[in-house]
Structure 1
């Protein structure tokens, strides 16, 4: 049996912190979902498993839900197993899942109840044990019932859940359906396919790994230091498991923290950006340091404009990038033996850069006001 496993697409997510490109970032998530279904058809997968948080929230625009389900309906070979996660949790009065049920074809199956689901109708020797979320937060997981169910050892028994695993996913307040590895291993299933964390785990899964996080197929923050992932999971006749990680995303999010002291270092920063194929990178750049006047001019007039072009989107904080104050500059800007001249010159002579910078900025601020 061949499974395409992914989770945490968060369709409908907004990107208010990236206002200029928010629409492109939101739309990319739909494009990635379309590509995943095409990939599943191309790889002749038997099953698609979406382990929670396909949607960003339990209240979604009906037209957006219908668009998503129309994409899922295009899977050709078998069932699409759709688990409610903690962002798109299921409740009896949920409009979201009513919209889903109204729009989906029969082979798109919502795993909204804690009950075994046989895939025998699809000629697949497998039983699914789902653990759907029914609220955004819970200190208790939904997998406890699974250990008590008698399993058919002739079938492939697969658990699907959404939540944190201590030691794998941070959950400081134990509020995201925490499941221990021991609980998962003792449940009696052959394989766990999980969602919730946005990075894949393990990094390089082997045949002995039976607890798998797929990661998100389209990153949304720099906390996902990858280009988007899904897992192609193949299960053999003897229940051996082979896992291939697929790169699936359109955009990457990166944080760059840079300290520069010269024009050469600025040029190296630009070269790094241009060489790393950064056109699809959303970058938060924090840059600090002190530069000579010529380097400062180069930053504003030459380096920064080119750096902005190198990325899909650049969010810049250069508030701590300062011009280095020199004796020549002080002599040029302030009368000889004036208070600013004497004060700043003393800081220069004593190599007190921090005090020099602070004093210069205060003096300049007072002069601007006058």
Structure 2
């Protein structure tokens, strides 16, 4: 597959291996160092959420849903190109109960990489409902769906690997199903495939998983993270599925050897939500704010979608152009974090001897300048509103 630099942001640098040693993703080291070493290469994904429609009502919403499907197929193609031995899917492949035609589409993709063993589980979104098509679907021979709700092994003799995992049978399951695991000697490599990590979804402690497994592949939390470097990894969602899924998303590629495991994150850049701050000053007009926002937004990468955050001090009488800002290209949300810039000295003179003047004088002497200033603005606004002299709307 030709690499698209707009989607795959950088190559992964991991020590060379016996097969496919010319791969642009895995490079470095000399082939002679690992010719005699048993190496198992895998890809780890989770929370693909096929079928989701992000940002409903936005111009890009339909395209985003299609992009998520395309990104999933690109991972399968990458598995073929990398000659991956194993693909791990740590739950929530679908956003909800899958349709039969959707499972056929996925199965066709799996069948196209017959040399890659695929192990997957159901998460809390695509859990095993009693009528779920997951329960009866006939997968290709290289696909191993763990249907049990208790920890169950899948023995993959061809690649000398055992994968342990279990599926959700309901939207929530607060059992600590992973627990402490005694290492089994029936395979060279032992992997845990899990979904959860909070109190209501298979809670676990990462440090309890390292004794029994060479690698623990998790899903559920959409932010990618190595909970224990190269040992316990939360894949994060393949792509952001909600406008609050900030930061990079993608998948992991790793290699297991007798010496241990090494993994690297491989971002997919079809969509990234960012917080973009717009500095506001009391001298700025609404028109100037829109103009500045257009300039700042033009600096984004083409795949980025913005939360536009207004920050600073505005003229107390100005009406912020929130609607106009929300109409700008690829702005999903406008957040007002500005404060009104009141002329406090003038207010003290004008309301001398009143509770308002006393309040201003008291807060101006507050030892915590930041907290005092914020309380001052809120309090003055409330008092002016009560007197019918607050900000115009």
Q: Same fold (TM over 0.5)?
A: yes
Q: Which runs of 4+ in 1 moved over 6 A?
A: 319-322, 350-353
The answer for the alignment partner of 1:162 in structure 2 is: 195
* Mapping of residues 1-370 of structure 1, within 5 Å: 1-15=40-54, 17-57=56-96, 59-91=97-129, 93-98=130-135, 101-102=137-138, 104-113=139-148, 114-120=151-157, 123-144=158-179, 147=181, 150-152=184-186, 155-164=188-197, 171=198, 174-186=199-211, 188-202=212-226, 206=229, 209-236=230-257, 238-256=258-276, 258=278, 260-261=280-281, 262-263=283-284, 269-277=293-301, 279-287=302-310, 289-291=313-315, 304=325, 308-309=328-329, 311=330, 313-317=331-335, 346=350, 354=381, 359=388
The answer for the alignment partner of 1:330 in structure 2 is: none
Seen in structure 2, the aligned counterparts of structure 1 residues 252 and 41 have a Cα distance that, compared at 3 Å, is same
Seen in structure 2, the aligned counterparts of structure 1 residues 71 and 246 have a Cα distance that, compared at 3 Å, is same
Look up the SS of the partner of 1:116 in the other structure.
strand
Deviation for aligned residue 1:133: 2.0
* 8 Å contact kept, 2:45–2:238: yes
Q: Deviations over 1:195-221 (max 9, x none)?
A: 111112228x75xx3111111110123
What is the TM-score when the length of structure 2 is the normalising length? 0.68
Look up the SS of the partner of 1:218 in the other structure.
coil
Look up the SS of the partner of 1:202 in the other structure.
strand
* Aligned counterparts of 1:195 and 1:56: Cα–Cα separation in 2: 13
* 8 Å contact kept, 1:156–1:239: no
* Aligned counterparts of 2:42 and 2:244: Cα–Cα separation in 1: 26
* Aligned counterparts of 2:338 and 2:56: Cα–Cα separation in 1: 21
Look up the SS of the partner of 1:147 in the other structure.
coil
* Aligned counterparts of 1:296 and 1:282: Cα–Cα separation in 2: 25
Deviation for aligned residue 1:160: 0.9
Q: Deviations over 1:267-302 (max 9, x none)?
A: 55543322232x322323343642499x979x689x
Look up the SS of the partner of 1:231 in the other structure.
strand
Gaps of 5+ in 1: 165-170, 327-342, 366-370
Q: Deviations over 1:59-113 (max 9, x none)?
A: 233323332333333324221111111221225x3323046x24x3221221223
Seen in structure 2, the aligned counterparts of structure 1 residues 325 and 240 have a Cα distance that, compared at 3 Å, is closer
Deviation for aligned residue 1:257: 5.6
Q: Deviations over 1:31-85 (max 9, x none)?
A: 110111111122221111101110112x233323332333333324221111111
The Cα RMSD (Å) is: 3.7
* 8 Å contact kept, 1:217–1:229: yes
Deviation for aligned residue 1:156: 0.7
* 8 Å contact kept, 1:32–1:249: no
Seen in structure 2, the aligned counterparts of structure 1 residues 243 and 269 have a Cα distance that, compared at 3 Å, is same
* Aligned counterparts of 2:233 and 2:290: Cα–Cα separation in 1: 42
Seen in structure 2, the aligned counterparts of structure 1 residues 82 and 241 have a Cα distance that, compared at 3 Å, is same
